[in-house]
Amino acid sequence: GNSVTQMEGPVTLSEEAFLTINCTYTATGYPSLFWYVQYPGEGLQLLLKATKADDKGSNKGFEATYRKETTSFHLEKGSVQVSDSAVYFCALSRAGGTSYGKLTFGQGTILTVHP
Amino acid sequence: EAGVTQFPSHSVIEKGQTVTLRCDPISGHDNLYWYRRVMGKEIKFLLHFVKESKQDESGMPNNRFLAERTGGTYSTLKVQPAELEDSGVYFCASSHRGGANTGELFFGEGSRLTVL
């Protein structure tokens, strides 16, 4: 079956530091890959996505590249801010057929950014 | 536009009692999903409605869980009788048909269930 593995947290950084959160996946075929973020007191929201190999998703200064050869989708940001403190979830979806919106999530990584 | 809303935000019940969670999706979203996160583990899929029909309920853990979506609007998830292992956060998400094809879901804040 499908699975997603994220780096263990929590991650604590100082403002303006570089961020990497590793994510690897196991899936048959060609899944779509996502990063969702949950800010304190809010629901999960889509941060970025990539639907095919070598695609790069980007949003709010975050980037992730779909690497089929390493089955990875690592999240990066060059300079984090205090407002980026949140829980980050890597996820995949088998688009099409009856699998619409059926996401497989990683365990989540808590990020705390200090001033 | 109102987002996905869930009620209650937190429920504390005793083992053997019944709890009903409610989800109001974004207006016009045909697809509605329930997910659950137990004890800091992964968020796991429970089931998927397309309008009022259950499209996929492969993630429902057992027959103590009953989900309904009468009229294709809001949905309820009933746990009866609740067990200790049902404690966790229950998330609802919705999407329109186009969004469903790309996996872009809109999530509520979740309903935290604590079974004592």
Out of A46, A96, A99, the one facing B104 most closely (by C-beta) is A46
Test mutation, A98, A102, A105, chain B, max B CBs within 10 A? A102
Q: Alpha carbon A10 to chain centroid distance? A: 15
- From the CB of residue A11, how many other CB atoms can be counted at a distance below 10 Å? 18
3-state helix, strand, coil in chain B (%, to 5): 10, 50, 45
Tell whether the model's pLDDT for residue B72 goes beyond 90. no
Kindly list the residues from chain A whose CB atom is less than 8 angstroms away from the CB atom of residue B106: 43, 45
Residue A97: the pLDDT is: 55
Residue B17: the pLDDT is: 97
* Chain B nearest-CA residue for A95: B101
* Confidence tier at B79 by pLDDT (50, 70, 90): very high
Among A31-35, B80-84, B97-101, the minimum mean pLDDT is found in B97-101
Mean pLDDT in residue range B85-109: 85
Residue B92: the pLDDT is: 97
What phi, psi does B72 have (nearest 5°)?
Answer: 70, 20
Per-residue pLDDT of chain A (115 residues; tens, 9 = 90+): 889 999 878 999 999 999 999 999 999 888 999 999 999 989 999 999 998 899 999 999 999 999 999 999 999 999 999 999 999 999 998 865 556 588 999 999 999 999 9
* Confidence tier at B98 by pLDDT (50, 70, 90): low
Q: Min CA distance, A5 vs chain B (Å)?
A: 10
Q: Alpha carbon A81 to chain centroid distance? A: 17
Residues of B with CB under 8 A from a CB of A: 3-4, 31, 33, 35, 40-45, 48, 55-56, 91, 93, 95, 99-110
Out of A43, A102, A104, the one facing B108 most closely (by C-beta) is A43
CB contact burial A13-41 (16+ within 10 A = b; e otherwise):
beeeeebebbbbbebeeebbbbbbbbeee
Mean pLDDT in residue range B13-34: 95
Mean pLDDT in residue range B72-99: 92
Mean pLDDT in residue range B41-63: 93
β-bridge partners, B56: B48
Tell whether the model's pLDDT for residue B38 goes beyond 90. yes
Residue A89: the pLDDT is: 96
Residue A104: the pLDDT is: 93
Tell whether the model's pLDDT for residue B34 goes beyond 60. yes
